[in-house]
Amino acid sequence: MSVHENEQAVAVAVLGLGEMGSALAVALLDAGYPVTVWNRSEDKVHQLVAKGARPAATPEAAVAAAEVVIVNVKGGAVAAEVLRTAASALPGRTVVDLTDGSSEQSRATGQLVTTHGADYLHGQIMTIAPAVGSPDAVVFYGGLRDVFDRHEALLRSLGGRATHVSDDPGVAVLYGMAVHDIMWGLLNGFLHAAALLGNAGIRVGDFQQVAQPSLTALSSLFPMLAGEIDRAEFATPYGALVHHLPSLDDLIAESRVRGIDVDLPTYTRKLVAAALDAGHGHDSYSRLVEHFRRG
Ligand X SMILES: NC(=O)c1ccc[n+]([C@@H]2O[C@H](COP(=O)([O-])OP(=O)(O)OC[C@H]3O[C@@H](n4cnc5c(N)ncnc54)[C@H](OP(=O)(O)O)[C@@H]3O)[C@@H](O)[C@H]2O)c1
Per CB under 6 A, residues contacting ligand X are 16-21, 39-41, 44, 72-74, 78, 82, 99-100, 125, 128-129
User: Nearer to ligand X by C-beta: 48 or 260?
Assistant: 48
User: Nearer to ligand X by C-beta: 88 or 212?
Assistant: 88
Output the residue with the shortest Cβ distance to ligand X.
Answer: 18
State in angstroms the smallest separation of the CB of 27 from ligand X: 13
User: Nearer to ligand X by C-beta: 34 or 76?
Assistant: 76
User: Nearer to ligand X by C-beta: 16 or 265?
Assistant: 16
| Residue among 179, 284, 158, 163 nearest 233 (CA) | 284
State in angstroms the smallest separation of the CB of 160 from ligand X: 16
First-residue to last-residue Cα distance in the chain = 44
Q: Which regions of the chain does DSSP assign to beta strands (E)?
A: 12-15, 35-38, 54-55, 68-71, 94-97, 119-125, 138-143, 161-166
Going from the C-alpha of 138 to that of each of 50, 116, 135, the distances in angstroms are 28, 29, 8
State in angstroms the smallest separation of the CB of 194 from ligand X: 23
User: Nearer to ligand X by C-beta: 98 or 275?
Assistant: 98
**Tell me, what amino acid is at 64?**
A
State in angstroms the smallest separation of the CB of 78 from ligand X: 4
**Tell me, what amino acid is at 139?**
V
State in angstroms the smallest separation of the CB of 162 from ligand X: 14
Q: Which regions of 67-160 does DSSP assign to beta strands (E)?
A: 68-71, 94-97, 119-125, 138-143
